[in-house]
């Protein structure tokens, strides 16, 4: 299996190095035969090549079995004409990575504030919605009409609604068989109404799955109050982006939130958080989000390629993180005592013994 690895900006190189340390341990233990290729993206690429994402990286990503993308300084990249391309949006759009899968769960060893133990997954549509940089074939969906008037367009399509719904229901069949649809159909009657229609149509094919739905603002309150009541949550792009940061933080830290961007043919592991330039180079960053994301990629490869060692390796990484957190063998942001590099090394050593 060939993995294209793009470390990104800020803390990206540090957490990517820790992730690769763990992946190499998994490779040694489970005989994965990984081939890892590292390339520059983001500010390093902009300095070296005049663009944050070189055109040849798309071909490399398509030829690879999977991609691992570290956090990029997306807020810095404003003018594509100057080579300032958002790497995350670029690969999500060009590889048609329509499903952003974001698990969130509590861990023994992390202190929570009035939150019962929970284990849920958000399946977020990833290619349209209110995201102005990816919902048009050409141009941008945010328009400056006059100096004082901005119009932002949202795109919702039946095919996109249907395929994220199917991804959510297939995921629920591997879990607790419960899907919650999150929307704002009381106000956005046509667009979110279509989303609910498509989710309900797909639900008819999964009679063993319990289905309910919630207005997005009410859902925020429900998740804070009782996250343990949910299993798989399916929603559109912007609602999912906001909701997944909340669920990750409820688990103890966004640094514990893994994320997979998946399509029919390609998948990309990506940490749930940003590049955190304020702590870059200080050996403080929590690498677990990117490591958990890489584990999700291994599991996707295992199911797609019918390669059980990959699924076994993914499960073992999850178990190793559970035990590491329980023993406080983690970074200081979640109550541990280790730096980024040491946390990766300790997890790799634990993985070999799990």
Residue range 183-195, pLDDT digits in tens: 999 999 999 999 9
Helix residue spans in the chain (DSSP H) = 12-30, 43-49, 55-63, 87-94, 158-173, 191-203, 216-225, 237-250, 288-304, 308-326, 340-353
Strands 149-152 and 142-146: antiparallel
Question: How high is the pLDDT of residue 114?
Answer: 61
Identify the band that residue 276 occupies on the pLDDT scale cut at 50, 70 and 90: very high
Does the active-site annotation cover 148?
no
- pLDDT band per the 50, 70, 90 thresholds, residue 337: very high
Measured between alpha carbons, how far is 76 from 317 in angstroms, rounded to an integer?
Answer: 33
Q: 173 pLDDT band (50/70/90 cuts)?
A: very high
217, 265, 305, 327: the catalytic one is 217
Q: Is 184 a catalytic residue?
A: yes
What domains are there in the chain, each with its CATH number? 1-97+261-354 (3.40.718.10), 111-250 (3.40.718.10)
Mean pLDDT, the chain, as a whole number? Answer: 94
From the centroid of its chain, how far is CA 113? 24
Averaged pLDDT for residues 14-18: 98
pLDDT of residue 191: 96
Residue 79, helix vs strand vs coil: coil
Query: Assign residue 268 a region: left if phi > 0, alpha if psi is -120 to 50, beta otherwise?
Result: beta
DSSP code string of 149-207: EEEE--B--HHHHHHHHHHHHHHHHTTTSEEEEEE-TTTSTTHHHHHHHHHHHHHTT-T
Marked catalytic residue, from 119, 245, 283, 333: 245
From the candidates 131, 192, 213, 239, give the one annotated as an active-site residue: 131
Checking DSSP bridges between strand 267-270 and strand 260-262, what pairing results, if any?
antiparallel
What pLDDT, on the 0 to 100 scale, is given for residue 113?
A: 59
Is 131 tagged catalytic? yes
Catalytic pick among 184, 213, 231, 239: 184
The predicted-structure confidence for 155-166, as pLDDT tens digits, reads as follows 999 999 999 999
Q: What percent of the chain has pLDDT over 90?
A: 85
Exposed (0-12), middle (13-18) or buried (19+): which is 218, by Cβ within 10 Å? exposed
- Vertex 226 angle, CA 100 and 295, to 5°: 35
Alpha-carbon gap, residue 256 to 288, rounded angstroms: 6
Place of tokens 């070189």: 54
pLDDT per position as a tens digit, 220-268: 999 999 999 999 999 999 999 999 999 998 998 888 989 999 999 999 9
Q: Treating both helix axes as pointing N-terminal to C-terminal, what angle do 12-30 and 288-304 enclose, rounded to 10 degrees? A: 40
Is the pLDDT at 272 greater than 90, yes or no?
Answer: no
> Span 136-145, mean pLDDT?
82
- Cα–Cα distance, 235 to 99 (Å, whole number): 10
Whole-prediction pTM value? 0.93
- Residue 216 pLDDT grade (very low, low, confident, very high; cuts 50, 70, 90): very high
The pLDDT of residue 44: 95
């Amino acid at each position: 299996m060939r993995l294209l690895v793009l470390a990104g900006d800020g803390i990206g190189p540090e957490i990517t190095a820790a992730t690769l340390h763990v992946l190499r341990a998994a490779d040694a233990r489970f005989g994965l035969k990984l081939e890892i290729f590292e390339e520059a993206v983001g500010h390093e690429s902009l300095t070296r090549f005049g663009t944050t994402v070189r055109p040849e990286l798309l071909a490399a990503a398509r030829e690879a079995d999977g991609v691992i993308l570290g956090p990029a300084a997306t807020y810095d990249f404003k003018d594509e004409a100057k080579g300032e391309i958002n790497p995350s949006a670029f690969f999500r759009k060009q590889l048609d990575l329509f499903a952003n899968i974001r698990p969130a769960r509590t861990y023994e060893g992390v202190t929570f504030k009035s939150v019962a133990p929970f284990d849920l997954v958000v399946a977020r549509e990833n290619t349209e919605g209110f995201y102005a940089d990816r919902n048009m074939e050409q141009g941008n969906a945010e328009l400056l009409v006059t100096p004082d008037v901005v119009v932002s367009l949202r795109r919702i399509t039946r095919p996109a609604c249907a395929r994220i719904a199917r991804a959510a229901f297939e995921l629920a069949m591997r879990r607790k068989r419960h899907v919650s649809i999150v929307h704002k159909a009381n106000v956005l009657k046509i667009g979110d109404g279509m989303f609910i229609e498509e989710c309900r149509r797909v639900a008819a094919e999964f009679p063993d799955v319990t289905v309910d739905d919630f207005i997005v603002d009410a859902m925020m309150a429900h998740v804070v109050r009782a996250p343990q009541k949910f299993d798989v949550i399916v929603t559109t792009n912007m609602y999912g982006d906001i909701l997944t940061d909340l669920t990750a933080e409820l688990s103890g830290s966004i640094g514990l939130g893994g994320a997979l961007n998946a399509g029919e043919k390609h998948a990309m592991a990506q940490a749930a958080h940003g590049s955190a330039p304020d702590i870059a180079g200080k050996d403080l960053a929590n690498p677990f989000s990117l490591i958990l994301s890489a584990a999700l990629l291994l599991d996707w490869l295992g199911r797609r390629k019918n390669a059980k060692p990959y699924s076994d390796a993914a499960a073992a990484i999850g178990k190793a993180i559970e035990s590491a957190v329980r023993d406080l063998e983690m970074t200081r942001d979640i109550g541990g005592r280790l730096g980024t590099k040491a946390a990766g090394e300790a997890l790799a050593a634990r993985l070999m013994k799990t």
